[in-house]
Amino acid sequence: MKRFVISIGRQLGSGGKDIAEKLGEMLGVSVYDKRLLEVAAQESGMDTSAFENADEQESDSFLSNIVALRHAVAGYFGQDSYMHSDRLFELQSEAMRSIAQRESCITIGRCSEYVLRDHPCLISIFITADQNDRIARIMQKDHLNEEQAKEKMEQGDKRRRSYHDYYATSEWGNAAGYHLCINSSILGIEGTTQLIYDFVKRRIEE
């Protein structure tokens, strides 16, 4: 089987991470989410915490994250260092491309469908779900009430969109930027995973 990479973007609460992990098990490949931060830190010689601060989900807003990162990284590299959020994204992207060159894998978020757009066998997927299902999943996972879960969902999507659209040329969640967009509420987590698996197998064979 030729080497491939699957990029999965997802709305918060859509079950995208669960689907990615199940798909990874079915295909026998590694899934890179927060693990990507560790790889980027190792390959660049930086402290992992600098990359964790750059993570798309670790700040209240992307713009405030840029300011916070510049202060955090300045302490590591000096006040005049070029190492701010853009540089951290660049190093993270380099790590992503390095992984994709040496192994088949699944990447979650972090503009991976844009970063890996030149990979000869990229399969880009975006997962959404009905709002009620998303809220229910967040309530269960994070032990929140309905109002809190809805707020977290909206803020989470806002952060992901801001992060993605700042770095990528395509629009986050826009079907034109992906090979497959799917609503996990229709078939459920297991059914959605199986559908994506079948899609991936056919794409690889072609």
Condensed to tens digits (0 to 9), the pLDDT of residues 142-189 reads 999 999 999 999 999 999 999 899 999 999 999 999 999 999 999 999
8 Å CB contact between 116 and 96: yes
Task: Assign 58 a pLDDT band (cuts: 50, 70, 90).
Answer: very low
Looking at residue 54, its pLDDT comes to: 56
How many Å apart are CA 50 and CA 95, to the nearest integer? 15
Q: What are residue 123's DSSP bridge partners? A: 6
156-182-197 Cα angle (round to 5): 115
- The residue-averaged pLDDT of 115-143 equals 97
| Beta carbons within 10 angstroms of residue 175's beta carbon | 11
Condensed to tens digits (0 to 9), the pLDDT of residues 111-121 reads 999 999 999 99
Helix axes 184-205, 16-27, angle to 10 degrees: 40
- The residue-averaged pLDDT of 58-62 equals 45
Domains contained in the chain, CATH given: 5-205 (3.40.50.300)
DSSP tag of 199? H
